[in-house]
Structure 1
């Protein structure tokens, strides 16, 4: 077989593309492709967020500390546009336990989330994302599993949803397809019901049951074999799983015509080999082909040539032309259609070198520990960057060498569809076996930040969720048959410290946006869309109330009973000390107290009054939903309350009351927010939980404004116990409390040597946490903290990123003993 090489171009930048070959008007495919690739990243501006957690195991009642790093997805530079970060904690059933919002400054956001004391034990998930990231699949959200141990004997363990499915085996031809008569690399992945890899062995058999190849997994159920399908034959895999289980799985059907593409890592180069088969009845005609390789939108190679069945085209591309991370190779045929795709990993850039140097190898309890951090790039030049440091007891929080870190996430996980099991394994060394295991992973994973046909057509997808520079209220208005309501007027009433009214009109997709809220505290809003011509019963969907589907997290390994007991004992002691002493080390003057459990009644902020003269609950009225509005429902049901006017313009008058305006019309409240009668007339009864009437002395709390009496309408959605995620739509009117940014919290650090020195110091699981560690121009930083009364080995872990987008991680260990 004849081998020919591509006439290819190695690109340091896309502007070099035409340096050797000027395209004709009929041959503008390559410059158009590169232009659209650049436009995609410049227009959609994809983002990545990574959370460095202080540890991966917690006890209920502890605080989860983290530092978020937000970068643009192309070159990982910390210059993203989003300024609002959402961090969720999900239950084992993938329900949102808590959602917090953090202000992003300098592309980072330190934060803390207190975990409830009564949490059941189980595998929870920490998820982080921006509003802009919601425009893409949830696969690109940061997501990490953590174990939470129950501290209360009454908190029953919570398990993840029941596992479904059986043992599975999938085959993935390199490049995307098998072609008869052409040898291909055939990757495979075997998984159990929990999605984890299973080691397997087996053989490939034809339709007669004859073995034609054998295979065995190399790591986490993944492996590969060389396979050449023959025309007219059918193949299946007969597999032996652990515990003597067997399975039979058909192989992907081989195509009579098509391309194959192999990408091999040979030392300092990637070798690309392409073959084509037209079929027995077709003439062997030459066809122009194009190969493009990029890393996160940064072009590294473009090759063009002529392809025939008699030739195997080969190109060798130096790896130093690629940025570090997941490289994306694509073959286009003569019609400019993508025919083969292949992912490979580029590890030429070692990233940041972070060195932690303690001033001593061992310390006494409560002795001051001083660390020096040095940051340098791959050439040894100092780097000024931002970092975070966690110090954990090595016995209580064991090292998980397969866990996610900032390098594995930014360079590998964040660019792949689906979860990567034990990503740290692929970064632990540079042995050939590790490199092949990583290549097997990329042969079986998907990359779908965009599709080539859509990109070439300039169709970058829909981006309904806003890019948030500050807190915002956004959503969509739907009309008849849930069709987007374009041009609908939306009014936002804001109440509280800053009261104002804002108005906007929905765009062609029915979306609206109110922005620039400072987030200093919780703000209460009322969103209204008045019915009009062609919009009789508008539905409001707030983005914040729309749940996101999340992938089922892989379960972390559960600690054994002995490890769990040791952790809980340490946690209880540390939490007791933290409750006695403030962050600054000053004692809280509390005497001996006895705490008795009582049922806590959640306060209803919608009621600032103590007493209502009449309460009408819609659930007690048959066919309540048939009434035109709330005032019609109220008509004739409360003595002294008179409802006048047609159903479209009703008003409530309370006999004997005269307001300061000279009218005896009542004041209207919806979930505690003053509104006008027109808004009450447009509120569907189906949205109402109850109506409360206040007269005379009961309304005195409202002063002269309430002299005419009060009609207080409480909606179902405004109830403190209402689950908004189960029914996010609202008809015409919606009340919403927008939480402010989470306030900054400081990690508990006792002060020694003063009058308020604590008698005991049991910090152990996390001895120290510092989310704001910065190196200077010389790449140096120094930090100090005190050891506690606990002894043993303590592991130091630092993570962070440089202004150029290089992630880094470093570890060290110190010993504390008596």
Structure 2
């Protein structure tokens, strides 16, 4: 089945098993359909369906500004907060799908918050913010969160917009169900977009190879529509001629018709009824299987015989699940031959209310916004975020609300234009527009080939306890993976945190670091006694796969030159007078306990007489460690106090948490650089490694104090989860503050990513306007513990001071 064509989908029937069926639909048990249902359930239940949604503080930025965001993690079945992953990966992609910014953000209990400073050298253009977790990398990158943003570089805002031409437009055609078949009447959906991916109005005609007009069409909404068309028998080909305006013609070929196959048609045939008609040509009489599924739930498993090339399935709409539902048709060989989608707007959303205390505000005026959630059960809680930003000529369309994303756009391919329309509009035109959307932007997050195949282990594991650092161990000469090599990962610090892992068949080692934040050096090595020739490489945790779809275009508009200049001035003033508040970070809670817990012996060397030789320090102050000198130099042996014996091999010796296998080097270090010495006086089991005790040296700064590491050791700077910046906004709550001569030209007045509401109780949020009059948009997003999602926005008016 053509994968690209199958992207145009649109239906699912979710009939309760006890619901009465029309005579035409023969419901089969869930474990029947020759095992199709069971295979789908097995595939879906192997792991949770995870979704991320990012609430960005605004849709348009200046290069050099800060982008703030809140991350919501939800399960794809019930939309409830999902605490599966502890790390989210956030990237900003340019028009060529190349990352210009990357960061890792910590997640706790299904949510997180972060920020990205947009470089001043970032060129003006349309960019995409995408986000995903390690677990989500097991599935198509189309399932990652994607949100377009606009970045304006006011340093170079004098360029002209792109020239308008037919080459700047695109048109795509999607046969319903996936295919055109000669001799069978089909519904063909289409989408016509401009260079920015927005739908445009157009009309056109379908021409045969001889130039005869066989169909005509016209767009309905957002550049989409559909027409009916019967490909003739024989080798005829078809072309669409599209009129975009005076002297602007776009020509595109239609998908080539198949000589034989199946065609689907879904019709609304009653107030509570859908009819799915299957037409077939060139295939034997057989029994077709229909499998309906949605959000990891199998809804319907039915069979119908194909008689005279026709089969009809009747579906009760009231039994359909909320959101996007899938219906897949299988032939007698259990091969998927057609697929269709259907959307049902969710019956209940999180109702967020937001009300300002005044109808109008002055500059440097206090604003109080009361936020509440209506009809939220007392036992449920909601987590919200709120942004307040200025509306001007440069502001682009806001992104979709979290409810629109979780229930519709996250299950479709590409960017959905005006998703609110499909939740609020009613009537025949809205139903037709929704169907056109599903036919042109439909998508499945899995391939049926994977479902029907034998189960395979997932390549990427979830990260429930912290970021996982992955590396690969290769043979230095052949670059082939090495298996079973014990590898150690540390980061020099006064907090001793060592990780150890053995390489798998691909040479991959995984280190789980539950307290790794900010940028720091990591030290990766193997035990030279076991291995001294391996090549170590740290692997990037970011996904190298990218979603398909149009790349957004961008052009500077000359008529906005004064607006660019005004925004440039505002940004420069804010940077001069408020730039010192840009990198204020929240205090971090750090667990100072070593990975091995509380040591059996601790020595703070400043409390003892200082010696200049490490051997004297150990012999005089540390009775738990025996110093021996052999032919190859020094050896340290730990006294096992529990068994009243001396362990026969060297312990794990650490310096600021970094393993030191050359004891002679450690004994040559100046002990005046050592602040503390810890000893664990028994065997310690650490993953695949067993230590004959632990002797841990800690310097004053935790930076190795110039200790010479082995040349084979890999030292690399690595970025952990980002530190949490604090949003700063001035407060004018005293007469002196209100009369301050420092200018306040903020375009983002308020950002709060953590608003907790329990039950129907309201919360009041206060902030102050700046020196800029205008209209400000208040945007609220929220997700409740019971899976209800919602969004709300309203406008504040700020008038200039008289």
CA offset at residue 299 of structure 1?
2.9
Out of 52, 55, 78, the residue aligned to residue 52 of structure 1 is 55
Please list, as runs of the form range in 1=range in 2, the aligned pairs for 1:181-330 lying within 5 A after superposition: 181-191=183-193, 196-242=198-244, 244-246=247-249, 248-265=251-268, 268-269=271-272, 271-279=274-282, 285=285, 287-309=286-308, 311-318=310-317, 320-330=318-328
**Secondary structure class of the residue paired with 1:215:** strand
Could you say what secondary structure the match of 1:543 adopts?
coil
Residues 1:429 and 2:425 are matched in the alignment: yes
Q: Is the 8 A contact 1:203 1:238 kept in 2?
A: yes
Q: Secondary structure at the match of 2:178?
A: coil
Secondary structure, in 3 states, of the residue corresponding to 1:44? coil
Q: Deviations over 1:363-415 (max 9, x none)?
A: 233332222223236x99997411111122233664626x3332332223322
Is residue 134 of structure 1 aligned with residue 137 of structure 2? yes
* Structure 1, unpaired ranges of 5+: 1-7, 585-658, 663-668, 681-695, 716-730
- Superposition deviation, residue 255 in structure 1: 3.2
* DSSP-derived class of the 1:495 partner: coil
Query: In the alignment, is the contact (CA less than 8 A) between 1:583 and 1:747 conserved in 2?
Result: no
Distance 1:775 1:711 in 2: 52
- Which of 396, 408, 411 aligns to 2:407? It is 411
8 Å Cα contact 2:780/2:792 also seen in 1: yes
Match of residue 112 from structure 2:
109
How far apart are 1:268 and its partner, in Å?
A: 4.8
- CA shift for structure 1 position 465: 4.6
1:63 aligns with 2:66: yes
Q: What RMSD over aligned residues (CA atoms) do the two structures have, in Å?
A: 4.6
Offset, 1:236: 1.0
| Whole-angstrom CA distance in 2 between matches of 1:172 and 1:335 | 25
Cα 1:188–1:815 shift into 2, 3 Å: closer
| Counterpart residue number, 2:781 | 799
* Higher RCO structure (Cα 8 Å, ≥6 apart): 2
Question: How far off is 1:175 after superposition?
Answer: 0.7
**Equivalent-residue separation in structure 1 for 2:515 and 2:242 (angstroms):** 60
Cα pair 2:55 2:781 within 8 Å, conserved: yes
Aligned equivalent of 1:564: 564
CA contact (8 A) 1:79 1:107 kept: yes
Quote how far apart the aligned CAs of 1:575 are. Answer: 3.6
Q: What CA distance in whole angstroms lies between the structure 1 residues aligned with 2:176 and 2:553?
A: 30
Give how far 1:41 is off.
Answer: 3.4
Distance 2:335 2:124 in 1: 51
Is 1:123 aligned with 2:122?
no
Q: For 1:778, which of 760, 763, 770 is the aligned residue?
A: 760
Secondary structure of 2:410 counterpart: helix
CA distance in 1, matches of 2:142, 2:490: 35
1:475 to 471, 484, 495: 471
Please name the residue that 2:744 is paired with: 762
Structure 2 residue 576 is matched with structure 1 residue 579: no
Partner of 2:539: 542
Residues 239 and 247 of structure 1 are in contact (CA less than 8 Å); yes or no, is this contact kept in structure 2? yes
Question: Could you say if the C-alpha distance between residues 779 and 172 of structure 1 is closer, same or farther in structure 2, counting changes exceeding 3 Å?
Answer: farther
Give me the whole-angstrom Cα distance separating, in 1, the residues matched to 2:415 and 2:481: 34
Instruction: Give TM-score scaled by structure 1 length.
Output: 0.72
Displacement of 1:55? 0.8
Matches within 5 A, 1:440-519: 440-459=436-455, 462-478=458-474, 484-499=481-496, 501-519=498-516
Relative to structure 1, the CA distance from residue 159 to residue 131 in structure 2 (aligned partners, 3 Å threshold; closer, same or farther) is: farther
Alpha carbons 2:14, 2:293 under 8 Å: kept: no
Which residue, 172, 175, 178 being the options, matches 2:174? 172
List gaps (5 residues or longer) in structure 2. 1-11, 585-631, 636-653, 676-696, 700-704
Shift of 1:52: 0.9
Deviation readout 1:57-96 (Å, 9 max, x if unpaired): 1223322122111112222210231011222334555443
Q: Could you tell me whether the CA contact under 8 Å between 1:570 and 1:764 is conserved in 2?
A: yes
CA distance in 2, matches of 1:712, 1:534: 19
1:88 correspondence with 2:91: yes
Cα distance, 1:488 vs structure 2 = 3.5
What's the offset of the Cα at 1:558?
A: 5.1
Shift, 1:54, TM fit: 1.3
The change in CA–CA distance for 1:32 and 1:802 in structure 2 (over 3 A counts) is: farther
- 8 Å contact from structure 2 (residues 180, 256) kept in 1: yes
**What CA distance in whole angstroms lies between the structure 2 residues aligned with 1:31 and 1:754?**
78
- Equivalent residue of 1:544, what SS? coil
Q: Is the 1:121–1:156 Cα contact (8 Å) retained in structure 2?
A: no
The offset of 1:777, in angstroms, is: 1.1
Secondary structure, in 3 states, of the residue corresponding to 2:491? strand
Q: Do residues 790 (structure 1) and 785 (structure 2) align?
A: no
Secondary structure in structure 2 of the residue aligned to 1:487: coil
Does 256-265 or 533-542 show the bigger shift? 533-542
Give the number of aligned pairs.
686
> Contact conserved, 2:37 with 2:301, CA < 8 A, in 1?
no
CA distance in 2, matches of 1:93, 1:233: 38
Cα distance in 2, alignment partners of residues 534 and 309 from structure 1: 71
Match in the other structure for 2:702: none
Q: For 2:18 and 2:133, how far apart are their aligned partners in 1?
A: 30
Q: 1:76 aligns to what?
A: 79
C-alpha contact 2:27 2:301 (8 A) present in aligned 1: no
- Cα offset for 1:40? 3.0
